[in-house]
Amino acid sequence: MKIALMNEFSQASKNAAVLQELQAVGAEQDHRIFNVGMSDDEDHRLTYIHLGIMAAILLNTKAVDFVISGCGTGQGALMSLNAHPGVTCGYCIDPADAFLFAQINNGNALALPFAKGYGWGAELNIRYIFEKAFSGTKGQGYPPERKASQVENAGILNQVKQAMGKDFLQGLKALDPQLVKTAVGGERFQACLLEHGQQGEIKDYIASIIAA
């Protein structure tokens, strides 16, 4: 699995610690990790609004399979990511959340609080979240005897979101180009998209935004 980590400006200083735990779990489970957001306070400035745009581009082009995002409370990142077609983001504060989201909702992104409740032992909690989020087979239901209805409802929700939203590229083009340009301005993000993205029209549009 290809997993992208993205931090915004208010919690950029936490990136190194979070990345370390994600890479450790990724190495154990044979996942590839891309650190596409801010790596420290001096990096290319991003807000949680930019994280939603970035996550949607990477997921809709299949450049990555899953996104780990967050902000101070995690709520802004959650709302921002879920505003976009093709993104199903859950809110996660502990390993049980990660496990239940993977088994019941089977989405493709998580939003974590990197300030609220981030205290002693936070790195352990984050590591265990990643272990539960990515280990085993997703979408098996919990409890297992409720799998059928949970899988059905997750599929219906995805259909509702698709029906209510614009085509992703159409929606992307309707955004302020400067907002998109800031979102895609990071070198590590661009490298991930250009190397692994599979949707040519989206990649071409992003290339035009970068060049403008």
**What sign has the CA pseudo-torsion 94, 97, 99, 101?**
negative
pLDDT at 136: 87
- Spatial distance between the Cα atoms of 77 and 54, rounded to a whole number of angstroms: 11
Residue 202 scores a pLDDT above 90 = yes
User: What global pTM score does this model have?
Assistant: 0.94
Tens digits of residue pLDDT in 134-192: 988 999 999 999 999 999 999 999 899 888 888 999 999 999 999 999 999 999 999 99
Tens digits of residue pLDDT in 89-120: 999 999 999 999 999 999 999 999 999 999 99
CATH number, domain containing residue 17: 3.40.1400.10
Contact, 114 vs 86, CB < 8 A? no
What is the tally of structural domains in the chain?
1
Distances (CA, A) of 26 to 4, 19, 132, 167: 11, 10, 12, 32
Report the Cα 180 to chain-centroid distance in Å: 17
Residues of the domain holding 167: 2-211
Tens digits of residue pLDDT in 56-67: 999 999 999 999
| Peptide linkage before 177 cis (omega within 30 of 0) | no
Residue 212 scores a pLDDT above 90 = no
Residue 179: partners with Cβ closer than 8 Å, 6 or more residues away? 49, 50, 53
The closest of 34, 67, 41 to 53, measured between CA atoms, is 67
The closest of 80, 72, 92 to 52, measured between CA atoms, is 80
pLDDT at 152: 95
Residue 69 scores a pLDDT above 90 = yes
Residue 31: partners with Cβ closer than 8 Å, 6 or more residues away? 1, 2, 3, 25, 134
